[in-house]
Amino acid sequence: MEPDAGATIRRMQVSMHGKDVLELTDDLVRVYAAAFGAPGHDEPAEAAQRFGVEQLPTHAARTGFRCVVARDSGRVVGFAYGYTGDFGQWWTDRIAAVAAPELVAEWLGGHFELVEMAVDPAMQGRGIGTALHDRLLVDLPHRKAMLTTYRDDLPAPRLYRRRGWQLLLPAVDERSDLYGLDLGSQAP
């Protein structure tokens, strides 16, 4: 019997504090490993461990950190998070180095950086990713949101395009494209 996706979506939590999210590290690493280790993403197991030990704690301490978690029967089945991106941070500086000056001036600095979104592959195709996306972006004080995602025809880039994100810079690197969302005109 399939879990009730509607009930899963209703059981989402928004945590504005990194400390709360860090208490879920093992669950988030499990979902990350399942989602990004799946075919098409093919990340090695070490990437999930690095996510839990280095990336998540660093990001959870950033200004404007926000995380949304989806549960099914109490079990974490998906999450999305981001924070306020700014110059002096690795991702923002990396994009600024490859983007046109006009794009940098318009989009970077003080933006909301959607960093990760993952749904357990067994729960994909039920609207959980869309619900995580929309809940994460509700009532943000930022003017713009930014992300990089896979260039291939995978679920994430399709979801972002459906939700109004625009392609700003193709081929940021060998696997990803840069997308932006004007939060002033978006009503998730």
* pLDDT tens string 159-174: 999 999 999 988 777 7
32 given a catalytic annotation: no
Q: For the chain, give the mean pLDDT.
A: 86
By CB atoms closer than 10 A (0-12, 13-18, 19+), residue 185 is: exposed
Alpha carbons within 13 angstroms on the beta-carbon side of residue 187 total 0
pLDDT, position 153: 64
- In this predicted structure, what is the pLDDT of residue 186? 52
Mean pLDDT, residues 106-125: 93
Q: Which of 32, 81, 83, 160 is catalytic?
A: 160
Residues near 93 by Cβ (< 8 Å), separated by ≥ 6?
Answer: 87
What is the percent of the chain where pLDDT is above 90?
Answer: 61
Question: What would the pLDDT profile of 63-80 be if each residue is shown by its tens digit?
Answer: 999 999 999 888 999 999
Q: Which helix (H) or strand (E) holds 168?
A: strand 166-169
pLDDT, tens digit, for every residue of 118-159?
999 888 888 899 999 999 999 999 999 999 988 776 778 889
Report the alpha-carbon distance of residue 15 to residue 53 in Å, rounded: 19
Structure-block tokens of residue 132: 């995580």
CA distance 75 to 18: 19
How far lies 42's CA from each of 53, 83, 87, 159, in Å?
Answer: 20, 26, 30, 20
**Could you give the domains of the chain?**
5-182 (3.40.630.30)
pLDDT at 8: 52
pLDDT tens, position by position, 1-44: 344 555 555 566 666 677 889 999 999 999 999 998 877 667 77
Q: Tell me, what's the pLDDT at 2?
A: 43
Which pTM was predicted? Answer: 0.88
Phi/psi region, residue 57 (left: phi>0; alpha: psi -120 to 50; beta: rest), is alpha
- Which pLDDT does position 18 carry in this prediction? 76
